[in-house]
A and B are shown apart, each in its own frame.
Chain A
Amino acid sequence: MEKLAWIEILDRHSDVCMRYPVLEWPVKFGRAYYSDIVVDDPYVAPHHIEINPAGNNCYRILGLGSINGMTINKMACSNSEAIISANDIVRIGHTQLRIRPVDFVVIAEKPLKSVTWMRSWPGLVMGCLTLLFAHFLTLWLEYNRDEIYKLLVAPLLSDIPALLVWAGFWALIGKVLSGRANFVAHGVIASFVAALLMLLYGFVFGYIDFSLNTSVTTNVLSGVIGILVVCWLLYRHVGLVSRVNKVKLGISMVVFSISLVGIDFSIAKWSGDDDLSRMSYLRTIGPPYLLLSHGKSLDEFLQGAANLKLRLDD
Chain B
Amino acid sequence: MKDSVFRSTYLKILTSMIIIQLSSLATASSLDNKTQAVFSKAKDSVLQIRTLLKGGRSQNSIGSGFFVSDNGLIITNYHVVSSYVLEPDIYEMGYVTRSGQRGSLTLLAIDVLHDLALLKLAGNNFPQLAFHDGRAARGEKLYSLGNPNDLGLVIVDGVNNGLREHSFYDSIHFTGAINPGMSGGPVVNQSGELVGINVATMGESRGFLVPAKFAKELLDRHRNDHITPGEFQDEITRQLLMHSSALVKRLISKPLPVQIDSGYTVPDAADPYMRCWANELVEAKYFFTARTNNCEGSSDVYVGEDIHMGSVLFETQLYQGEKLDAFRFGHLIQKSYGRQDESGASIQRKHFSPYKCIDSVIDLNGMPGKAAFCIRSYRKFSGMYDMSVRVVSLRENKRALATKLRMRGVTYEDGMHLVRHYMGALKWKN
Query: Which A residues are closer than 8 A to B by beta carbons?
Result: 140-144, 146-147, 206-207, 210, 272-277, 279-291, 293-298, 300-302, 304-306, 308-309, 311-313
Contacts and interface: CB of A to CB of B under 8 A. Distances in A.
A96 B420 CA distance: 80
Contact of B368 (A144, A206, A280, A291): A291
A311 B370 CA distance: 22
B416 A294 contact: no
B253 to A, nearest CB: 20
A156 to B, nearest CB: 20
Given A283-B338, A302-B419, A273 B370 contact: no
Nearest to B326: A287
Given A282-B359, A306-B416, 15 more contacts: A273-B354, A274-B354, A277-B338, A280-B359, A284-B334, A285-B330, A285-B392, A286-B330, A287-B330, A290-B361, A290-B370, A291-B394, A304-B358, A305-B358, A313-B377
A298 to B, nearest CB: 6
A277 B372 CA distance: 12
B369 A290 contact: yes
B344 interface: yes
Contacts, number: 151
A111 B363 CA distance: 67
Given A147-B285, A282-B370, A285-B334, A274 B394 contact: no
B372 A308 contact: no
A144 B392 contact: no
Interface centre among A147, A297, A300, A302 (most CB of B within 10 A): A302
Interface centre among A272, A280, A281 (most CB of B within 10 A): A281
A273 B356 contact: yes
Size category, B interface: 35 or more
Interface string B324-341: 001111111111011101
Contacts of A297: 362-363
B30 interface: no
Given A279-B357, A296-B363, A141 B328 contact: yes
A37 to B, nearest CB: 68
A143 B285 contact: yes
Interface in B370-421: 370-377, 385, 390, 392-395, 397, 412, 416, 419-420
B286 interface: yes
21 contacts: A140-B328, A272-B355, A274-B355, A276-B343, A276-B372, A285-B330, A285-B333, A285-B370, A285-B394, A287-B329, A288-B326, A291-B394, A295-B360, A298-B364, A300-B362, A301-B371, A305-B416, A305-B419, A308-B356, A312-B375, A313-B377
A256 to B, nearest CB: 29
Going nearest first, the 6 A-B pairs with the smallest beta carbon separation are A281-B359, A272-B354, A281-B372, A295-B361, A276-B341, A295-B362
